[in-house]
Chain A
Amino acid sequence: KTFFIPLFTMASSQLLLFVIVGKNEPLYEAEFHKLGGTSSGTSDSVTRQNYFVLHSALDLVDKASWTTNNMYLRVVDKINHQQVSTFLTAGNIKFMLLHGGKNEDSIKNFFNEVYELYVKLSMNPFYKYDTPITSKFFDTRVRAVARRYLS
């Protein structure tokens, strides 16, 4: 049986999906809308498709992690008009960004800034490694960084 995935290319190139994935489950998710994009245009199936794309890239991330010493793994997967970029932290936590093919530098800077926020979060004695991130503070900061680098 063929699997039919609806293609909503217009809406998806305006939407950026950022997920932090731990060993077993996603730890943090955030969607960013580019300035001027339609923020009310994303439907449920687009969101589901985005998550599907991101999670199917996980195997490719593992494969790519063996090829380089860097934390920043660049683009690991290309689907339709979207690309998945990944950053691996020292503790093997994966930062993954689904985007419409922006320039690499701004994505690299974005990942580095989020990494600093993540390190600060993990210094909190009450945050256990590899558990879902519930801190509002972290969320606000990540969104501010995204606005600065990704729009």
Chain B
Amino acid sequence: MSKSVAAASGHALWAKMPKANAELFALTYGSLVTELIRDYDSIEEINEQLEKMGYSIGVRCVDEFLAKSEQHGMTVPTCQNLKDTAEVVAKTGFRMFLGISCDVTMAPDGNAFSLFMYENPLALFVELPKTNDMPTAAGGATKKWEDLKYSNLYCGILRGSLEQINLRVSCEYIRDVLQGEEVNEIRVTLREVLQDGAGDDYKEE
């Protein structure tokens, strides 16, 4: 699938989606993260919880994506390889749900790709505090702001949606604008292509 087709579909689908207020969205996510920080003791748990939430979202996102593109007469041609999948995710998927465009580069071995986001709708107004430690629950371990992956939700979304189309991946947030970098970078690595099937219980005798 060529880049321009993916981008054009993304643009068209974005126009047809119902919209939400960006500030409300960002503030809701912000209060969610602050609650998590208050509730959990270690940073890893917080990052993991965000990823799990993203996973639940992603599982539902892919169905909506396929349904909406069908409904509006935009066929998404079958992807031949991971490169095509990456293009569709970055140009059509992110565009459709968030209204942002991402750049994607493939890894040399073809088994991984990196998504680059220049703007992050979840982190509007957010600035990580400069103090050394985060507020901890009584008796908890010390947590550092620089270990927090604020937008880890995206990693979960990618993992969840790709798993529904039989691609088991692992996603990781490599660079974050909130931590002082230039761009947000998420690395998606393909672990396994799953087999279609309903499982052992349903195997025919």
Confirm or deny: A5 has a beta carbon within 8 angstroms of a beta carbon on chain B: no
The stretch among A42-50, A54-62, A117-125 that forms the contact with chain B is: A117-125
Q: Which of A85-131 contact B (CB under 8 A)?
A: 120, 123-127
Contact A135 B127 (CB under 8 A): yes
Given B27, B130, B131, which contacts A125 in the complex, CB threshold below 8 Å? Answer: B27
Residues of A in contact with B, size category: 10 to 19
Name the residue of chain B whose CB is nearest to the CB of A137: B127
Query: Across the two chains, which residue of chain B brings its CB closest to A119?
Result: B125
CA distance A136 to B34 in the complex (A): 21
B27 touches A123 (CB 8 A): yes
Q: How far is the CA of A124 from the CA of B129 in the complex (A)?
A: 10
| Chain A binding surface SS class | loop
Q: Per-residue CB proximity of B22-41 to A under 8 Å, as 1/0?
A: 01000100110110000000
Closest beta carbon of chain B to A123's beta carbon, Å? 4
Cβ contact within 8 Å between A134 and B130:
yes
Shortest distance in angstroms between A130's beta carbon and chain B's nearest beta carbon? 16
Q: In the assembly, what is the distance between CA of A57 and CA of B33, in Å?
A: 39
CB B156 to nearest CB in A, in angstroms, measures 19
Interface residues in B50-65 by Cβ distance below 8 A to A read none
Task: Please determine whether B126 and A125 come into contact, CB atoms closer than 8 angstroms.
Answer: yes
Q: How far is the CB of A10 from chain B (nearest CB, A)?
A: 37
Task: Please name the residue on chain A nearest to B145 by beta carbon.
Answer: A126
Is B174 interfacial (CB-CB < 8 Å)? no
A151 to B129, CA, bound (A): 31
B127 contacts across to A, CB distance below 8 A? 124, 126-127, 135, 137
Cβ of A75 to closest chain B Cβ, rounded Å: 33
Taking CB atoms, residues of chain B closer than 8 Å to A137 are 127
List the A residue with the shortest CB-CB distance to B28: A125
Contact A125 B34 (CB under 8 A): yes
B31 near A125 with CB under 8 A, answer yes
| Interchain nearest-CB distance for B166 vs A (Å) | 37
- State A65–B30 Cα separation when bound (angstroms): 33
Q: What is the distance, in angstroms, from A27's C-beta to the closest C-beta of chain B?
A: 15
**25 A-B contact pairs sorted by A residue (CB < 8 Å):** A120-B125, A123-B23, A123-B27, A123-B125, A124-B126, A124-B127, A125-B27, A125-B30, A125-B31, A125-B33, A125-B34, A125-B125, A125-B126, A126-B30, A126-B34, A126-B126, A126-B127, A126-B128, A126-B129, A127-B127, A127-B129, A134-B129, A134-B131, A135-B127, A135-B130
Please name 5 further chain A to chain B contacts, defined as beta carbons within 8 Å, in addition to the given A125-B30, A126-B128, A127-B127, sorted by A numbering: A123-B124, A124-B127, A125-B31, A126-B129, A135-B130
